[in-house]
């Protein structure tokens, strides 16, 4: 697609292995595991007992105390990540035009903690016990809206909800807005805080989560033959995308260039991926066509890699269909092995990792990979961080309901 070039100038994350870009990236390279037994509630009666929870996070570091009480945990994550991304991009000290700056931050579950607390108050104390900010605590768009309000971002505003591909869709949609000239700056990503009894019980009922409760630190094992399901995580990833000429005009630091976006639907099932991987194949091909890049130029895939039996097998097969013989030379990793599955935030946090891989030429490992699966025959990064000469990389995100998104990043060259 022709239009303005779009670059990445700011990164912010809240994750189970670190709050902030430096701690997150160092944790990935070290193969740090963020998964443990759940602490936010007693999981003893649940089918699965583990999650990747955000630790050592104080929302008061990013939000005034009065506002903290009026927001759900997922909004806290989104606000903190946005503050980090804005500071990283140098926008906190630059007088940008707010009418030309927008926000797209999605969520899948929204304010789960607030909904559960509100439901309990309603039945224990009656309807008058709910405060005036109850509704705004759980609305899926509230992370995006609060960021817009806080920083005076008066351009395009939206909050997609496409399950596990939400974060990637948000970034892709923001990319399109800048590309066609409707904004100079966009904050985009996803935020999720669903380690709460109701959504957790619901995901347990889908039988898609790991039940390796006797060895939780090895529960998330993408592409390993003995994988038995994903591990729920929480957190947020926000990026600053910017029109290249605008970034250059203010001498912004540029991490990488976003060059391609694909978005397709399986149109197949509530939760299961289409067995032939057609949607996954088409979304990668669409992204490469959009970028105007031959797939053989790619050197790395940050895979969706959930650690479920079906997803990992079908994603591997889809990669082989798209890349042919070149697929044997691609490096592939899944950071869900360390941070779990952040649901709507997954695609955004994984995009941050992909950008950092391009920027540093370092590939994070897939931990807990012990026994190869003949149905997942690709070159997975499993023996620690790898250094390669990397020019083009892609980040895959596939969601419940059949939503697929693919983002392609290229090393920035003026």
Q: Which of 164, 204, 376, 406 is catalytic?
A: 164
- What mean pLDDT is predicted for residues 360-386? 97
**For the chain, percent of residues with pLDDT exceeding 90:** 96
**Mean pLDDT value of segment 372-379:** 96
Q: In CATH terms, are 7-249 and 260-410 the same topology? A: yes
CA dihedral 198, 203, 205, 209 (to 10 degrees): -140
Average pLDDT in the 2-29 region? 97
Q: Give SS3 for 393.
A: strand
Q: Which of 397, 414, 330 is nearest to 172 (CA)?
A: 397
**What is the band of 270 on the pLDDT scale with cuts at 50, 70, 90?**
confident
Compute the distance between CA of residue 410 and CA of residue 122 in angstroms, rounded to an integer: 51
Taking only the tens place, the pLDDT of each residue in 169-200 is 999 999 999 999 999 999 999 999 999 999 99
Residue 269: active-site member: no
Pick the closest to residue 77 from 108, 38, 41 (CA basis): 108
Q: If we measure between CA atoms, which residue out of 8, 9, 18 comes closest to residue 235?
A: 18
Q: What is the pLDDT of residues 129-169, one digit of tens each?
A: 999 989 989 999 999 999 999 999 999 999 999 999 999 99
233: DSSP letter: B
- Other residues' Cβ atoms within 10 Å of the Cβ of residue 366: 26
Q: How confident is the model at residue 79 (pLDDT cuts 50, 70, 90)?
A: very high
**Beta 18-19 vs 6-15: how paired, if at all?**
antiparallel
Q: How many CB atoms lie within 10 A of CB 22?
A: 10
Domains in the chain: boundaries: 7-249, 260-410
**Architecture of the domain defined by 260-410:** 3-Layer(aba) Sandwich (3.40)
Of 246, 304, 376, 406, which residue is the catalytic one?
304
User: Strand, coil or helix: what is 107?
Assistant: coil
76 given a catalytic annotation: no
pLDDT at position 74 is 98
pLDDT at position 289 is 98
219-262 pLDDT per residue, tens: 999 999 999 999 999 999 999 999 999 999 999 999 999 999 99
pLDDT digits (tens, 9 = 90+) for 321-353: 999 999 988 999 999 999 999 999 999 999 999
Tokens of 163: 């399950």
CATH superfamily assigned to domain 7-249? Thiolase/Chalcone synthase (3.40.47.10)
Would residue 403 be called left, alpha or beta, if left means φ above 0 and alpha means ψ between -120 and 50 degrees? beta
| Residue 1: pLDDT band with limits 50, 70, 90 | low
Calpha distance 164→305 (Å, rounded): 12
Over residues 271-301, the pLDDT tens digits come to 888 999 999 999 999 999 999 999 999 999 9
Cβ atoms of 187 and 104 closer than 8 Å:
yes
CA 233/CA 51 separation, integer angstroms: 6
Residue 2 pLDDT more than 80? Answer: no
**Residue 341 known to be catalytic:** yes
Closest CA to 334 of 359, 300, 361: 300
Instruction: State the catalytic residue, choosing from 246, 341, 376, 406.
Output: 341
Look up residue 368 and give its two tokens.
Answer: 């807990």
Taking the complete model, does pTM exceed 0.85, yes or no? yes
Chain mean pLDDT for the chain: 96
| Residue among 319, 255, 248 at smallest CA distance from 4 | 248
For residue 342, the model assigns a pLDDT of 98
């Amino acid at each position: 697609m022709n239009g303005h070039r779009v670059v990445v100038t700011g990164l912010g994350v809240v994750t189970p292995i670190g709050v902030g870009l430096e701690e997150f990236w160092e944790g990935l390279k070290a193969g740090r595991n963020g998964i443990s037994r759940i602490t936010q509630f007693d999981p003893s009666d649940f089918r699965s007992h583990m999650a990747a929870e955000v630790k050592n996070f104080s929302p008061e570091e990013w939000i005034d105390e009065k506002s903290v009480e009026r927001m759900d945990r997922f909004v806290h994550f989104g606000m903190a990540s946005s503050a980090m991304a804005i500071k990283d991009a140098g926008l906190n000290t630059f007088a940008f035009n707010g009418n030309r700056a927008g926000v797209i931050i999605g969520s899948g579950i929204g304010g789960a903690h607030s909904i559960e607390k509100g439901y309990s108050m309603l039945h224990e104390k009656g309807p008058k016990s709910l405060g005036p900010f109850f509704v705004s605590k759980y609305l899926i768009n509230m992370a995006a809206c609060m960021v817009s309000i806080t920083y005076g971002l008066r351009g395009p505003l939206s909050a997609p909800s496409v399950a596990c591909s939400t974060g990637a869709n948000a970034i892709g949609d923001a990319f399109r807005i800048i590309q066609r000239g409707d904004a100079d700056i966009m904050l985009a990503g996803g935020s999720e805080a669903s380690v709460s009894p109701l959504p957790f019980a619901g995901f347990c009922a889908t039988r898609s989560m790991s039940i390796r409760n006797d060895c939780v630190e090895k529960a998330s094992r993408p592409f390993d033959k003995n994988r038995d399901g994903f591990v729920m995580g929480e957190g947020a990833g926000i990026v600053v995308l910017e029109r290249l000429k605008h970034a250059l005009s203010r001498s912004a630091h540029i991490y990488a260039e976003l060059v391609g976006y694909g978005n397709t639907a399986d149109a197949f099932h509530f939760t299961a991926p289409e067995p032939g991987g057609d949607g996954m194949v088409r979304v990668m091909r669409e992204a490469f066509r959009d970028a105007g890049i031959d797939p053989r130029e790619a050197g790395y895939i940050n895979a969706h890699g959930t650690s479920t039996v079906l997803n990992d097998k079908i994603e591997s097969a889809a990669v082989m269909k798209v890349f042919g013989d070149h697929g044997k030379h691609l490096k592939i990793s899944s950071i869900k092995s360390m941070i779990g599955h952040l649901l709507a935030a997954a695609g955004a946090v994984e995009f941050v990792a992909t950008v950092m891989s391009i920027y540093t030429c370092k590939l994070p490992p897939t931990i807990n990979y012990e026994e190869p699966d003949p149905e997942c025959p690709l070159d997975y990064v499993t023996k620690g961080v790898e250094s390669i000469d990397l020019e083009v990389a892609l980040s895959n995100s596939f969601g419940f309901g059949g939503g697929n998104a693919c983002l392609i990043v290229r090393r920035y060259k003026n």
